[in-house]
Homo-oligomer: A and B are copies of this chain.
Amino acid sequence: MDKFELKLDQAARAAWLSYVGGLTQDEIAGQLGVSRPGVQRLLALARQEGVVKVHIDHPIATCVALGHALAERFELRYCDVVPANADAPEDAARYLAVAGAKRLAQYVERSEPLTLSLGSGRSVRAAVEALDRVERPQHRFVSLIGNVARDGSSNRFDAVMALADKTGGERFLLPAPVVAESVAERQAMLSQRLFKAIADVAAASRAALIGIGRIDAQATLYQDHFINDAELDELLRLEAVGELLGWPLDSHGAPIECSLTQRVTSLPLSRFGDQLMVGIAGGRDKAPAILAALRGGWLKGLITDEVAARWILAAR
């Protein structure tokens, strides 16, 4: 019999005793008549040779695996993947919100004063709503994207507003529409003292939770009338597939320069290099946009669902 096979036999014995039998390495060493480090090596060999197979018998396991793969591929600090319930699509959105709320809670529950940024998107809003109410007046919450509608009214239902309401923290809202009417208007806004002050607060924030938008006829930017038909057409022509804070990205995640971007009032993406930008979005439709954001390296964290995760990993 082969010398290597004999060793593998021993390794399999050791593996059984360790993983199934539940013995300690010392006991196994006694049983097999080798030293404790010898057992160590046998176990390492058994794992390396694939003799030991571990299976996690729970639906969530595939989600964790997907998240791990995404985190590895795109160098994320973390990636949460929630199950996509095919039977009840509305559940997926709720799962996403709960997962987002969990991450938010990790920050908000801390008692040291903290600055947190929030982007736009229904998912961000839903995450905030899923958060438990907790008194944290010491925190500051900044919106990274304008919350003024075309008609000049402030959006009462902004995520920052909701979060500040829930915690009693301070709120900092960008006093601007997402897209200015003209380049000159944008310049005027950006040079406001208040605007700069808010940008400073945002720069000091620990982390940011932002939505990821798609660019097509169902794009939020378009449906909420932040951009018009002509602007959408231009973006589609330039092959934009997604947007972060209103900044359009191509399929490789590179920012797209165009007439629209001359008038976007959000803080530039490049300003967030050192903070933990977390994207939250899910669903097959948003997958290409998420992939673009990941490829561009803009995100350090991601909260998504199984469907999007699978699509992205399959897209290579």
* B53/A55 in contact, CB under 8 A: yes
Q: How far is the CA of A52 from the CA of B57 in the complex (A)?
A: 6
* A58/B19 in contact, CB under 8 A: no
When A19-B56, A33-B102, A56-B20 are in contact, do A12 and B51 touch as well, CB less than 8 Å?
A: no
When A20-B65, A21-B68, A33-B102 are in contact, do A13 and B54 touch as well, CB less than 8 Å?
A: no
* A13/B60 in contact, CB under 8 A: yes
Q: How far is the CA of A111 from the CA of B31 in the complex (A)?
A: 20
Assembly stoichiometry (copies): 2
Q: How far is the CA of A99 from the CA of B53 in the complex (A)?
A: 27
Selected contact of A54 from candidates B20, B33, B58, CB within 8 Å: B20
Q: How far is the CA of A13 from the CA of B102 in the complex (A)?
A: 15
Measured CB to CB, the closest approach of chain B to A189, in angstroms, equals: 38
* B54/A53 in contact, CB under 8 A: yes
* A52/B60 in contact, CB under 8 A: no
Q: Does A190 contact B (CB under 8 A)?
A: no
Q: Does A185 contact B (CB under 8 A)?
A: no
* A9/B56 in contact, CB under 8 A: no
Q: Kindly supply a per-residue 1/0 record for chain A positions 33-57, scoring 1 wherever the CB is within 8 Å of any chain B CB and 0 otherwise.
A: 1000000000000100011111111
Residue of B nearest to A54 (CB): B19
What range describes how many residues of A lie at the interface? 20 to 34
Residue of B nearest to A59 (CB): B12
Q: Does A15 contact B (CB under 8 A)?
A: yes
Q: Does A183 contact B (CB under 8 A)?
A: no
Q: How far is the CA of A19 from the CA of B18 in the complex (A)?
A: 14
* A64/B19 in contact, CB under 8 A: no
List the B side residues contacting A8 at CB < 8 Å. 58
Q: Does A258 contact B (CB under 8 A)?
A: no
List the B side residues contacting A191 at CB < 8 Å. none
* B52/A16 in contact, CB under 8 A: no
When A20-B65, A33-B102, A102-B33 are in contact, do A56 and B52 touch as well, CB less than 8 Å?
A: yes
Measured CB to CB, the closest approach of chain B to A60, in angstroms, equals: 5
* A61/B16 in contact, CB under 8 A: yes
Q: How far is the CA of A46 from the CA of B56 in the complex (A)?
A: 9
Q: How far is the CA of A226 from the CA of B17 in the complex (A)?
A: 42
* A12/B64 in contact, CB under 8 A: yes
